[in-house]
Amino acid sequence: MTLDANALKQAAAQAAIDYIEPWLKPDAVIGVGTGSTADLFIDLLCAKRDRFKAAVASSERTAKRLRDGLVRVLELNEVTSMPVYVDGADEINPQGEMIKGGGGALTREKIVASVSERFVCIVDASKQVEVLGRFPLPIEVIPMAQEAVLRKCRLLGGEPAVREGFVTDNGNIIVDISGLSIHNAVGLETEINQWPGVVTNGLFALEKADVALVAGQGGVTLVEH
């Protein structure tokens, strides 16, 4: 039997719940990502709400889903550390560097991940790539900088497009850059972050996955980075 994409995401989410089991303690705060794979993880996490103290959400969408599942949601400013952050990705390379932000939550995702001790990435095998860039790289941009940032994207050799009708939880726009072949993810992440008007870019190389749980037809593989 061939598992469809949703079944693979479900398998990755279940593997993440099993993986974080040692950290589900009465004083633990869990960092939670955004997206369809993260949603499946949230539903499993909600069933274990009596085992940990609270969660920090990487988006309004995730906060709502957690609260609907009766999990206490804390603001990040109320938390000094989290043992784990669990989230999906749009692409992941063999080094654990990722492109994220397909759901537009990249900035809060990167902030919450930065306060967590371990980034656990949950993906189906279709997200694995040798070279990042097949998935357009999202960047969150302050609206008044839109045209200046589009020009810089073109100088990089990419083809930028403003994500139509989309506003981030922080009130900004998303620019998706197609046509990049990213061989130095740390360098590009650092460079784009320095453009005035860029809030965050979707490269997670400085903040890469410590562990990836990759669901394929043969089961879930744990990859440590």
Ligand X SMILES: O=C(CO)[C@H](O)[C@H](O)COP(=O)(O)O
Q: Using CB under 6 A as the criterion, what x/- string covers residues 41-80 for binding ligand X?
A: ----------------------------------------
Q: Percentages helix, strand, coil for the chain, rounded to the nearest 5? A: 35, 25, 40
CB of 204 vs ligand X, minimal distance in Å? 9
6 touching ligand X, by CB under 6 A:
no
Site membership for ligand X, residue 34 (CB under 6 A) = yes
Shortest Cβ 143–ligand X spacing (Å):
19
Closest CB to ligand X among residues 24, 137 = 137
Phi-psi region of 195 (alpha: psi -120 to 50; beta: other; left: phi over 0): beta
Of 185, 85, 66, nearest in space to 135 by CA: 185
Q: Which of 91, 97, 109, 189 is catalytic?
A: 109
Report the alpha-carbon distance of residue 196 to residue 121 in Å, rounded.
29
Binds ligand X (CB under 6 A): choice among 15, 20, 35, 209: 35
CA angle 58, 152, 168 (to 5 degrees): 25
Chain residues 91-110 in contact with ligand X, contact rule CB under 6 A: 100-106, 109
Which alpha helices (DSSP H) does the chain contain, by range? 5-19, 36-46, 60-68, 106-115, 146-155, 185-193
Q: Quick check: 37 binds ligand X (CB under 6 A)?
A: yes
Q: Is 130 a catalytic residue?
A: no
Residues engaged in binding ligand X (CB under 6 A) = 33-37, 87-90, 100-106, 109
Catalytic residues: 109
